[in-house]
Structure 1
Amino acid sequence: MRYLMMAMRTENETPPDEALFVEMDKFVKELSAAGILVATGGLDPVGMQVVAKDGEITVTDGPYTEAKETVGGFALIDVRSVEELHEVSRRFIAITGDGVGRIHQVFS
């Protein structure tokens, strides 16, 4: 079962420090060695938005005034059970710090 875990950042949050990167690197190496990690990365908080409405496509550069949070980073994992998902996701959010994590199952 594949899941996308995302760490959400609020607009007023301070940028991550070096300790977060060190801990995340250890976590990534461990999950990679276990064959669980499919992909991971941090995301640019600015990004862009693509909207389709009535057949017209609009691309807008960020930041977005209506957005209160953005995805700060993600990990795509492949686990054998929901219990394993819970364990990995708890560790992921513990490293990313205070805030909200989101998890979505990825269907192929």
Structure 2
Amino acid sequence: MRFLSMIRLNENTGQRPSQQLMDDMGKLMAQMMADGTLLDTAGLRPTAEGTRTRLSHGKLTTTDGPFTETKEVIGGYALLQADSMQQALELTRRFLQVHGDEWEIECELRQLDESCVPPRP
């Protein structure tokens, strides 16, 4: 089963990852890629560089960032391969624990609905 872990954070804190965190995160990602539990991951650029497109009653609108009305934003993601929600949750916990005591972040973990995905070649 595949799971999407979406990292939520408050980007207005100005907090940036230390070199130690980046090194520790790199080790964790390498280990998870090697054991096949991490399929893909990335951080997202700030909302100031993004846009939102909305469809409402047949009308499309686009809004440029930053999105000041939003307190928490998705700051990154990890696509996980796991045998169960419990295993995916443990993988997500490992990711969060690497951040130590200084960070205030959370991950939303959701299983992908494989019936919506075309078969892989």
Superposed pair shares fold, TM > 0.5: yes
What is the number of residues matched between the two proteins?
Answer: 108
Whole-angstrom CA distance in 2 between matches of 1:20 and 1:74: 17
Cα RMSD between the aligned structures? 1.4
Q: CA deviation at 1:82?
A: 2.5
More strand by share: 1
Contact kept, 8 Å, 1:44 with 1:72, in 2: the verdict is yes
Query: 1:30 and 2:36 equivalent?
Result: no
SS state at 2:13 partner: coil
Counterpart secondary structure, 2:17: coil
For residue 85 of structure 2, the aligned residue among 82, 87, 98 is 82
1:59 alignment counterpart: 62
For the 8 Å contact 1:42–1:73, the answer to whether it is kept is yes
Contact kept, 8 Å, 2:9 with 2:104, in 1: the verdict is no
Structure 2 gaps, min length 5: 115-121
Structure 2 residue identity aligned to 1:3: F
Tell whether 2:72 aligns with 1:73: no
Contact in 1 for aligned 2:89/2:109 (Cα 8 Å): no
After TM superposition, the runs of 4+ consecutive aligned structure 1 residues lying more than 6 A away are none
Q: Name the residue aligned to 1:104.
A: 110
Which structure is richer in relative contact order (CA contacts within 8 A, separation 6 or more)? 1
Q: Which deviates further from its counterpart, 32-41 or 8-17?
A: 8-17
Q: Percent identity?
A: 33
Ranges in structure 1 where 5+ consecutive residues have no aligned partner = none
The alpha-carbon deviation at position 13 of structure 1 amounts to 4.5
Deviations 1:59-108, CA, capped at 9 Å, x for gaps: 21111121001112210001012331121011011124432211111112
User: For residue 93 of structure 2, what is the amino acid of its counterpart?
Assistant: R
Normalising by structure 1, what TM-score?
A: 0.89
Q: Using the alignment, how far apart are the partners of 2:35 and 2:27 within structure 1? A: 12
